């Protein structure tokens, strides 16, 4: 069984959907990940999305976007938002949904949202299924980059399922540089240098990782 992690990026700066594009371009709110997505088969999809930043700004964007049928937002104790939404699909979303139905692959969740309106997706399947998937064209207006691939090993069981690919990358880097050694051998700056982000961003990722992992252990 193999996995492939893909970065699907817009070549012209748009998002997969108008609402996603507006959120990606807004400096005050950040879409972190899509944790659940259901195709209702009537031209709409429902989403459970994690976000950070100004939740009121997110509400304003959703209210002002005609394609959004309904939405609601819950905020956790640390100020992170979790949004349920039902939105109308467009041609690109329908294209991706159709390809998803045709592919003989399993989409690992969550789907990480990037700051340019793209998505980081991990797919799991057999060699034969991936070979058949290679016959499909890239979505129009988007570029697909293979970031990682290899044998799929479900280490950690479902403990890490709540983490995005980026959060897993930060966690792996933190372990590698000795951030979790006793005594601690590395700082946020060391982790940030290993993954190519700011120390503040590395610290925020590590907080989310720790909340998700320890919450699963004691929940």
User: In Å, what is the CA distance from 133 to each residue of 3, 5, 127, 138, 183?
Assistant: 13, 14, 10, 11, 47
Report whether pLDDT(20) > 90.
no
Is this structure's pTM higher than 0.85?
no
For the chain, domain boundaries: 2-151, 165-218
Report whether pLDDT(167) > 60.
yes
Q: Is residue 151 packed enough to be buried (19+ CB in 10 Å), middle (13-18) or exposed (0-12)?
A: exposed
Q: What phi and psi, each to the nearest 5 degrees, are found at residue 160?
A: -100, 5
How close are the terminal C-alpha atoms of the chain, in Å? Answer: 30
For residue 12, what pLDDT is reported? 65
Report whether pLDDT(187) > 70.
yes
More confident residue, 199 or 9: 199
More confident residue, 144 or 59: 59
């Amino acid at each position: 069984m193999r996995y492939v992690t893909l970065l699907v990026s817009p070549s012209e700066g748009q998002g997969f959907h108008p609402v996603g594009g507006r959120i990606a371009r807004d400096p005050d709110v950040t879409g972190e990940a899509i944790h659940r997505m259901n195709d209702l088969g009537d031209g709409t999809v429902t989403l459970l999305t994690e976000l950070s930043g100004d939740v009121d700004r997110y509400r304003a964007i959703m209210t002002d976007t005609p394609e959004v049928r309904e939405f609601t937002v819950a905020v956790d104790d640390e100020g992170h938002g979790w949004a349920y939404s039902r939105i109308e699909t467009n041609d690109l979303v329908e294209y991706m949904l159709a390809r998803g139905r045709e592919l003989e692959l399993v989409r690992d969740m969550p789907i990480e949202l990037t700051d340019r309106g793209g998505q980081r997706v991990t797919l799991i399947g057999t060699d034969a299924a991936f070979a058949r998937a290679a016959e499909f064209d890239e979505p129009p207006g988007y570029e697909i980059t293979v970031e990682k691939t290899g044998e799929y090993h479900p280490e950690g069981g479902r403990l890490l399922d709540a983490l995005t690919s980026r959060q897993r990358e930060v966690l792996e880097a933190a372990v590698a540089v000795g951030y979790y050694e006793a005594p601690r051998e590395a700082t946020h700056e060391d982790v940030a240098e290993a993954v190519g982000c700011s120390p503040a961003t590395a610290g925020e990722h590590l907080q989310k990782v720790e909340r998700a992992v320890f919450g699963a252990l004691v929940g």
